[in-house]
């Protein structure tokens, strides 16, 4: 294959990957603690890294676990380098946006539930555990896919999942009782 043909193949594969999975990658970034205001920039970092490592993608499988693994590392990098900012919490902004909705009460309740889940997710202190929890219990990936995407053993993944579930459940219980997470 000529260099031009290879470049065209890579470009086409990347365009297809971005079109299919950009919206998907945005959600795990938010769940991993990336602020909504920064999520698009971090998502672009994910896809830049994906393009740089495109030759490592197994096209016979779904790209989502592979991208989720890259998103995990991008979110880790973001959190490590994030500057402390005084901003209005994203949940307050989202709750304020339901005013023009057809059913604002239902939208408000849905957003409150989302805020509760996000608050509970943030209590999973170990980012590796949180990532496995998100990939498995929220995104529905198999442990085999998760282990491959994160370069871990499946048993390590199951251990992280168990610990994350315990922390998540405890946080939901505290939030239901009105305690802070």
Annotate 117-144 with b (16+ C-beta within 10 A) or e (fewer). bbbbbebbeebbbbbbbbbbeebebebe
| Of residues 179 and 161, more confidently modeled | 161
Q: Give 145-166 pLDDT, tens digit per residue.
A: 999 888 899 999 999 999 999 9
Is residue 38 included in any domain, yes or no?
Answer: yes
For residue 84, pLDDT beyond 80? no
Q: Which of 121, 111, 136, 7 is nearest to 75 (CA)?
A: 121
Is residue 133 included in any domain, yes or no?
Answer: no
Is residue 31 included in any domain, yes or no?
Answer: yes
The predicted pLDDT at position 129 comes to: 93
Is residue 48 included in any domain, yes or no?
Answer: yes
| Of residues 93 and 171, more confidently modeled | 171
Total domains in the chain come to: 1
Is residue 37 included in any domain, yes or no?
Answer: yes
pLDDT band at 180 (very low <50, low <70, confident <90, very high): low
Task: Report the CATH number at residue 4.
Answer: 1.10.1740.10
Is residue 69 included in any domain, yes or no?
Answer: yes
Distance from first CA to last CA of the chain, Å, rounded? 55
Is residue 109 included in any domain, yes or no?
Answer: no
- List C-alpha distances in Å: 30 to 6, 102, 136, 153: 34, 26, 16, 26
Range of the domain at 40: 1-87
Q: 26, 96 in Cβ contact below 8 A?
A: no
Is residue 24 included in any domain, yes or no?
Answer: yes
Q: Is the pTM of this model over 0.85?
A: no
For residue 83, pLDDT beyond 80? no
Ranges 17-31, 39-53, 110-124, most confident: 39-53
pLDDT band at 101 (very low <50, low <70, confident <90, very high): low
């Amino acid at each position: 294959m000529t260099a031009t043909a290879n470049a065209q193949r890579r470009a086409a594969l990347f365009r297809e990957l971005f079109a299919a999975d950009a919206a998907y990658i945005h959600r795990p970034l938010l769940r991993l603690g990336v602020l909504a205001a920064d999520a698009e920039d971090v998502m672009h970092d994910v896809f830049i890294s994906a393009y740089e490592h495109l030759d490592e993608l197994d096209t016979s499988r779904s790209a989502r676990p592979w991208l989720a693994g890259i998103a995990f590392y991008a979110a880790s990098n973001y959190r490590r380098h994030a500057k402390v900012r005084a901003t209005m919490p994203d949940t307050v902004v989202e709750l304020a946006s339901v005013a023009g909705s057809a059913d604002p009460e239902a939208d408000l309740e849905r957003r409150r539930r989302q805020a509760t889940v996000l608050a509970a997710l943030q209590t999973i202190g170990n980012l590796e555990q949180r990532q496995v929890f998100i990939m498995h219990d929220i995104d529905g990936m198999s442990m085999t896919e998760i282990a491959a995407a994160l370069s871990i053993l499946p048993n390590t993944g199951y251990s992280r999942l168990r610990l994350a579930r315990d922390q998540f459940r405890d946080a939901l219980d505290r939030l239901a009782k009105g305690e802070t997470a």
